[in-house]
Amino acid sequence: MRRYDLTLSEYIRLSKPTHHERLLLFAQLLEALLYLKRHSIVHRDLKSDNLLICSSTGELVLADFGCALYQPPNLKQPYTTDEICKGGNLALMAPEIVMCQPGPKSYLDYNKADLWASGTLCYEFFSLPNPFFHGSFRQEIYCDQQLPSLLPLASPLIERLVHSMLRKNPKERPSVSCISNCIQLCLWFNSTILKMNKNDFYQAYMWTALETLFNKRTLSSVELSLKKLFCQRQSSQSLYEAQSYLDQLTA
């Protein structure tokens, strides 16, 4: 049985991963969130101590589901009284959850709450203090334009993606699926893909899918697993959505 012997902060401190390796870790977290969302589950206690990593492979798993909520079909929980628990980690709780007030028609919308929390954790993936956990930022009063930079430890495009995940208004955040696809595109393709037409873009994707099938030995176990998950769930629409979103962020 594989042993997940380090927390995220321990792994980052001891291993000093490259930019690519940090993205691999972040992509694994997003894949976990995507899996949970498909099963109408929200974790509600995301923090670095709950991200465990196998030091020998770099495989990341999400732990401690003590505060998790199963809320089908739409991850919206009625919030009629303040006795209803909002989750386990107030510091990294999404703004829409923190500021929600109880009432007969009120509900807690968790659709993009874990996504927001994972955006704050991305600072820790890149060896930076989490602005909402270690800093002076508060969910109720921060502005999108005030978010700290991740440069130069993260690339400009990754910084824009993270800032989009941390938009205060959940309606302005991308979906978990879109962000997960965007991060994987950043992992496996160079920046020229943003300027490709749809036909060339889809052809480049197909070559990547074939490479995943036939060049397994050139990939680590984590890379192979991520690529398989990425390729298995794609449609032309989801690919074009991710490409369009990346293009929008770099415009």
- pLDDT value for 196: 83
Which two structure tokens, joined as six digits, stand for 217? 């030995």
Q: For residue 216, name the pLDDT band (cuts at 50, 70, 90).
A: low
Residue 170 has pLDDT above 80, yes or no: yes
Does some domain include residue 56?
yes
Q: For residue 127, name the pLDDT band (cuts at 50, 70, 90).
A: very high
CATH number of 168's domain: 1.10.510.10
Which residue range forms the structural domain that includes residue 23?
A: 6-250
Mean pLDDT estimate for the chain = 92
- pLDDT value for 194: 72
Does some domain include residue 200?
yes
Q: pLDDT tens across 26-53, in order?
A: 999 999 999 999 999 999 999 999 999 9
Residue located via tokens 């009432």:
103
Does some domain include residue 154?
yes
Count of domains forming the chain? 1
Catalytic residues: 45
Q: pLDDT tens across 49-83, in order?
A: 999 999 999 999 999 999 999 999 999 999 999 99
Bridge partner residues of 70 (DSSP): 41
Does some domain include residue 65?
yes
Q: For residue 19, name the pLDDT band (cuts at 50, 70, 90).
A: very high
> pLDDT > 70: what percent of the chain?
98
| Residue 102: cis peptide before it, omega within 30 degrees of 0 | no
On whether the CB atoms of residues 159 and 185 are closer than 8 A, the answer is no
Does some domain include residue 211?
yes
DSSP, collapsed to helix, strand or coil, labels residue 123 as: helix
Helices (H), the chain: 8-15, 19-38, 95-98, 113-125, 156-165, 176-188, 198-214, 221-232, 236-250
- pLDDT value for 251: 76
Handedness of CA 212, 217, 218, 223 (dihedral sign): positive
- pLDDT value for 13: 95
| Distance, CA of 101 to chain centre | 27
Does some domain include residue 204?
yes
Residue located via tokens 């998950």:
229
- pLDDT value for 217: 66
Q: For residue 124, name the pLDDT band (cuts at 50, 70, 90).
A: very high
Which two structure tokens, joined as six digits, stand for 84? 């209803």
Does some domain include residue 57?
yes
Does some domain include residue 1?
no
Residue 169 has pLDDT above 90, yes or no: yes
